[in-house]
Amino acid sequence: MVSIIWLFFIVIGTLFFILTGNIEALNNEILQGGAGGIKLLTEMLPLLVLWTGIMQIAEDSHLLDVFAKIVRPVLSKLFPSLPKDHPALGYIASNIAANALGLGSAATPFGLKAMECLQKDNPQKDTATEAMVTFLVLNTGGVTIVPTTVIALRMMYGSANPSEIILTSILATLCSNVSGLLFDYYKRRKKK
């Protein structure tokens, strides 16, 4: 599925560059295309390495298990295919918590770790498990409770009340997440 999107972006982008006569810009885009990804990776690198280091301490001290135990009742309903003491649940919970607080970049290492844990029990390594799909639906919905970046930008542009959009953001993100989860639930039921 990702290949189709990838193909769509490249084909439409390339054709439109050509149609608008921007061949030089297109050439630049292709020749320097890798730089954008590398830039993003180098921006992610320090934080990701630091967080995986810190989280290893949380894992070794079983703090993550404690955390997972607290959120287990809720999460295990969302992930019926996972055993109740699955290590991925702790990472999933941390990921959701970080996302909810608007700390998007802090959430990524937890999310990647969760995927790694889920992959360990995956019998078909090239195919997503049910739990992976549900986790990604939750994640791409972006369960944001405090949209920190938006609030910071509103403040910067002189808003009289930068945080007035918190409630409306939560409502919008709830609509998005609930509909995504229902879609996932419906698809899973249909398969059985």
Partner 1 sequence: MNFSTYIVPLFVLFIILYGFKKKVPIYDSFLVGAKNGLVTIFKIAPAVIAMVFATNLFLNSHFLEFVFSYFNPVLEALNIPVSVLPMAMVRPISGTASLAIMSNIFDLYGPDSFVGRLASNLQGCTDTTIYVLALYFGSIKVTKTKHALSAGLFADAIGIIAAFLITFIFFG
Query: Which range touches partner 1 (CB under 8 A), out of 68-76, 77-85, 165-173?
Result: 165-173
Of the two residues 76 and 121, which places its CB atom closer to partner 1 in the complex? 121
Query: Which range touches partner 1 (CB under 8 A), out of 73-81, 84-92, 133-141?
Result: 133-141
Q: Report the C-alpha gap between 94 and 88 in whole angstroms.
A: 10
Options 23, 44, 70, 74; binder of partner 1; rule CB under 8 A: 44
Options 90, 176, 189, 192; binder of partner 1; rule CB under 8 A: 176
To partner 1, the closest distance from the beta carbon of 73 in angstroms equals 23
Q: Which of residues 55-94 bind partner 1 (CB under 8 A)?
A: 55-63
To partner 1, the closest distance from the beta carbon of 71 in angstroms equals 16
Q: Report the C-alpha gap between 158 and 169 in whole angstroms.
A: 19
Phi-psi group of 146: left, alpha or beta (phi > 0 → left; psi -120 to 50 → alpha; rest → beta) = beta
Asked if residue 187 binds partner 1 (CB under 8 A), the reply is yes
4 CA to centre of own chain: 20
**Residue 15, CA atoms < 13 Å, CB-side half-sphere:** 6
Of the two residues 60 and 73, which places its CB atom closer to partner 1 in the complex? 60
Q: Which of residues 139-158 bind partner 1 (CB under 8 A)?
A: 139-142, 144, 146-151, 153-154, 157-158
Q: Report the C-alpha gap between 124 and 169 in whole angstroms.
A: 38
Options 20, 71, 80, 86; binder of partner 1; rule CB under 8 A: 20
Phi-psi group of 48: left, alpha or beta (phi > 0 → left; psi -120 to 50 → alpha; rest → beta) = alpha
Q: Report the C-alpha gap between 47 and 131 in whole angstroms.
A: 26
Options 23, 27, 80, 164; binder of partner 1; rule CB under 8 A: 164
**Residue whose pair of structure tokens reads 């599925």 in the numeric block:** 1
